[in-house]
Amino acid sequence: EAQVTQNPRYLITVTGKKLTVTCSQNMNHEYMSWYRQDPGLGLRQIYYSMNVEVTDKGDVPEGYKVSRKEKRNFPLILESPSPNQTSLYFCASSLLYTGRNEKLFFGSGTQLSVL
């Protein structure tokens, strides 16, 4: 089954404790992206990747890192989480971002709470 898999689904942590949220897709998609969803603010893009070893900042990249060492994986890293990073995070992928097939497939989300 074609899907985008995020782990964990829920995560509670404390300020300053490094964490990684994993994202994996099995559709051989080139484009992957991370969003955070906050009430009243909608979805805001954190980072995106056009292909392996190609990443770029979105609208709210501060406090986050990403890597794209393999096509299928796009982990989101919070080196020193802070309470303002408490949010619902979504990973998404699409086949290409320059062609017509630009439908995004979303993961199920990761609810992160930073205390």
Partner 1 sequence: AQSVSQHNHHVILSEAASLELGCNYSYGGTVNLFWYVQYPGQHLQLLLKYFSGDPLVKGIKGFEAEFIKSKFSFNLRKPSVQWSDTAEYFCAVNARGNNRLAFGKGNQVVVIP
Nearer to partner 1, 19 or 43 (CB): 43
| Beta carbon nearer to partner 1, 15 or 84 | 84
Stretch that binds partner 1, among 11-19, 60-68, 71-79, 102-110 (CB under 8 A): 102-110
CB count within 10 Å of CB 8 equals 12
List CB contacts of 110: < 8 A, sequence separation 6 or more: 6, 7, 8, 9, 10, 11, 21, 88, 89, 90
- Kindly tell me which of 45 and 113 has the beta carbon lying closer to partner 1: 45
Which residues are CB-contacts of 100 (< 8 A; sequence separation ≥ 6)? none
Residues that bind partner 1 (CB under 8 A): 31, 33, 35, 40-45, 48, 50, 56, 58-59, 90, 92, 97, 100, 102-104, 106-109
